[in-house]
A and B are shown apart, each in its own frame.
Chain A
Amino acid sequence: MKYTLVAWMRDKPGVLNRVSGMLRRRNFNIDSLQVSHSETPGISRMTFVVDGDERVADQVIKQMRKLVDVTRVENITDKPAVLRELALIRVRTTPETRAEILQFADIYRAQIVDVALDSLVVQVVGSEDKVDSAIQLLENFGIIEMVRTGRVALLRGSAGRRNGRRSTAVWRARANGNP
């Protein structure tokens, strides 16, 4: 299963290296990782997707929290959240295909951000599935070049505002079959 985790960290030199180094040496499997500024100056926000079972996700969160520069980690997998990826795709065009590509772009609410005689750059924003399916479709016309971000996530509505509470320390094991 894929878990979406969000981490906040002090914006210090090498902090990304600390996180990625820890994930590598503890043999965790990371699907994507996205870092940027957050609303607080000096704090970076990282969204990353972990592939594994519940225990793995639990360990990733705890090991992340152990890093001194990491200020907060949250698992938003089961919470209502807006999950987005962005892709920029340069598609080969001919006079015959251009209109068709524009139509597909429209269906995906994608934007054309660059035009040349023999190509178009399509910008798709959406869930991972949506971006996947847009890419699959555009492949039929010939993708010359492509770049794609990892997942970014933000909780919906009021859920995003109060999340300071840590989980309780009684930690009953589900792995033993005892819910």
Chain B
Amino acid sequence: MSTAPSNPGDLPRPADEPREMTGAQMVWEAMLHEGVKVVFGHPGGAILPTYDALAPHEAAGRIHHVLVRHEQCAAHMADGYARATGQVGVCMATSGPGATNLVTGLATAQMDSVPMVAITGQVPTNLLGTDAFQESDVVGVTQPVTKHNYLVTDVEELPYVLKEAFYIARTGRPGVVLIDICKDVQNATGIFRYDFSVDLPGYEPWPEYSPEALQAAADLINRAERPLILAGHGVQLAGVSDRLVELVEKAEIPVVTTLLGVGDIPETHPLCLGMGGMHGEAYANRAIQSCDVLIALGMRFDDRITGRLDRFARQAKIIHFELDKAEVGKNVVPDVAVVGDLAQTLPALLPLIQERRHPVWIQEINEWRQDTQQTDILNFEVDELIPPYVIRQLWHAVKERGQDPIIVTDVGQHQMWESQYFIHERPGQLLTSGGLGTMGYAVPAAMGAQMAYRDRLVWAICGDGGFQMTLQELATLQQEKLQVKIGIINNGFLGMVRQWQQLFYSKRYVGTPVLSPDFVKLAEAYGIPALQVTRPEEVVPALRQAHETDGPFLIDFQVKEEVNVYPMVAPGAAVDELIRRPRPAIVQGYSGVQPSW
């Protein structure tokens, strides 16, 4: 039977002698070996044996289980935990509805390359395929949204599956692996072993880069007059932000980031142009369209960054540094591809790069930048509460406290304002659902991040629409005594959808006005102190109060309703055909549209 590890503080621990135990016990043994400390989940009939086997580990403080109020949030919490720590996040659910509820969270994590293992219970093997109570084909359902998945029908296979699953989830381009375990397998007894190495002949997580390709890339960069780096999530996954800054400074190359690449390079760096793409700054997008060599680092040319593909960076030679071979040539065909781990390719590239200066190019960009800044809303006195102001004040307030925050955003207008007006200085400062764009992500993911770092300042920023998708987790937040701060950018609309309706559907606001409860009272019902903010001058004191309060805090920012995110590249347009921020002088007559920042 299972014996307690000799030194529970010293995890992950080496594999010990193979020994007999139940399938349910194997699940936790494997997790101890993998160094898992927190599991987010919701129990149910088909996963009960596994929950029962957690008891001794939970009592001994080895593994903590967080009970969620909806399984989707178990996946989002594991996602937030994994993004914050870089370790594999683990979530758990029962069969049928429990497992299907996980799906959105799995898809969110998979799209953004988040390492995660999901464990679901399944009906006993003799009932498989009979439409048994709470049976669903979880492996079938989750196949398109996972890196790999397993249905375990034999307890002898389970240790191998568990080890493979964690290995696949965290290696190469990280992703989600789901293990569906039949209930009788959880109860059956077998030999548990972990003293083997994973054998996956077709799995090549870390392809070797080609030195010829690297040289070809270096030659292009060294000859470039107007080079530009487009940096993505891969830079953070590989942990090479410092190397990126070295490269940028050595050859004076400006950097545009993707949404998930925000923080790859400090946004205070003079060569950082911030985010590009659909809501990127005009100068960042113009730089993309005007560069002669585009160096894409760990990014996948999502349509939100490229806009219209056939007019994307047409004059540029494109170099694609990427770990996942399948991303090379998928959307954009590069001139040179360096397939490999950025942690290897970037350090190897540095000595091949000559020290260069590009004064003309940099000056040109800076002129565009000045032009943009002149029209920025924050440079004008506005008497109303507008979202960009709230976000910028949040940054000031965090900065003032000298804290290294984790900001978790939901999806929509506030997400874009956050990326534009919060000044990210470190990788990992912003966690957001970029690929799938999952509303309701922020609160649970922030809780997952806070579970990993209980003392850090974690802000969940959401809209009034997204917040109401997962607000039931406020109870989980209190049960776990987490100190997440929540800011709701409340404009009474599903703001981003409303913006599209305003711009592309003649202002017919179908299905976008949102009625919300009194969020302050709601928070109070959960025992969370809260404030409502309606005027610009109330923002700073409210933020201060949130920061000075121990434990969670919620602020309902009742912002001006019809404010738009600019600049904006219309869907299907090229990234330089953007709708600029309306200039204050012409705001009234702007396209016949109401004043809208």
Contact = CB atoms under 8 A, between A and B. Distances in A.
B338 A68 contact: no
A21 B333 contact: no
A69 interface: yes
Contacts of B144: 21-22, 25
Given A72-B202, A169-B337, A58 B143 contact: no
A168 interface: yes
A92 B163 CA distance: 59
A154 B148 CA distance: 29
A71 B199 CA distance: 11
Contacts of B200: 68
Contacts, number: 81
Interface stretch (B51-59, B209-217, B434-442): B209-217
A66 interface: yes
A17 B144 CA distance: 11
Contacts of A59: 326, 329-330
Nearest to B204: A65
B325 interface: yes
Contact of B325 (A14, A65, A173): A65
Contact of B338 (A18, A72, A169, A176): A169
Interface in A51-72: 55, 58-59, 62-63, 65-72
B334 A173 contact: yes
A66 B143 contact: no
A84 interface: no
B336 A55 contact: no
A71 B213 contact: no
Nearest to A168: B210
**Category for how many chain A residues contact B:** 20 to 34
A68 B148 contact: yes
A17 B209 CA distance: 32
A175 interface: yes
A173 B335 contact: yes
Given A25-B144, A55-B329, A170-B337, A68 B212 contact: no
Interface centre among B147, B209, B325 (most CB of A within 10 A): B325
Given A68-B148, A169-B339, A62 B328 contact: yes
A138 to B, nearest CB: 40
Secondary structure class of chain A's binding surface, majority of residues:
mixed
B209 A55 contact: no
B168 interface: yes
A40 to B, nearest CB: 10
Contacts of A171: 213, 328-329, 334, 336-337
A67 B216 CA distance: 30
A57 to B, nearest CB: 11
A178 B210 CA distance: 20
Interface in A24-76: 25, 55, 58-59, 62-63, 65-72
B340 interface: yes
B147 A68 contact: yes
A173 B332 CA distance: 10
A169 B334 contact: no
Interface centre among A58, A68, A176 (most CB of B within 10 A): A68
A63 B212 CA distance: 24
Contacts of B579: none
A63 to B, nearest CB: 5
Interface in A121-179: 168-173, 175-176, 178
Interface in B160-186: 168
B34 interface: no
A30 to B, nearest CB: 17
Given A18-B143, A55-B329, A59-B326, A68 B202 contact: yes
Interface residues of B, number: 33
A13 interface: yes
A74 to B, nearest CB: 12
A66 B213 contact: no
B218 interface: no
A9 interface: yes
Contacts of A72: 202
A75 to B, nearest CB: 14
B380 interface: no
B212 A168 contact: yes
A4 to B, nearest CB: 20
Interface in B134-153: 139-140, 143-144, 147-148, 151
Contacts of B329: 55, 58-59, 62, 171, 173
A169 B340 contact: yes
A98 interface: no
Nearest to B339: A169
Contacts of A18: 143
Contacts of B168: 68
B201 interface: yes
A42 B144 CA distance: 24
Interface string B309-338: 000000000000000111011100111111
A171 to B, nearest CB: 4
A123 B328 CA distance: 44
Given A168-B212, A169-B213, A169-B339, A62 B325 contact: yes
Contacts of A25: 144
B213 A62 contact: no
B143 A173 contact: no
B201 A71 contact: yes
B504 interface: no
A10 B202 contact: yes
Given A14-B139, A65-B326, A170-B210, A176 B335 contact: yes
Contacts of A22: 144
Contacts of A67: 202
Interface string A68-89: 1111100000000000000000
A168 B328 CA distance: 13
Nearest to A166: B207
B203 interface: yes
Interface of B: 139-140, 143-144, 147-148, 151, 168, 200-204, 207, 209-210, 212-213, 216, 324-326, 328-330, 333-340
Which 4 A/B pairs are nearest by Cβ-Cβ distance? A71-B202, A169-B210, A62-B326, A173-B333
22 contacts: A10-B201, A14-B143, A17-B143, A18-B143, A21-B143, A21-B144, A22-B144, A59-B329, A62-B326, A63-B326, A65-B326, A66-B326, A67-B202, A168-B210, A168-B213, A169-B212, A169-B340, A171-B329, A171-B337, A173-B329, A173-B335, A178-B335
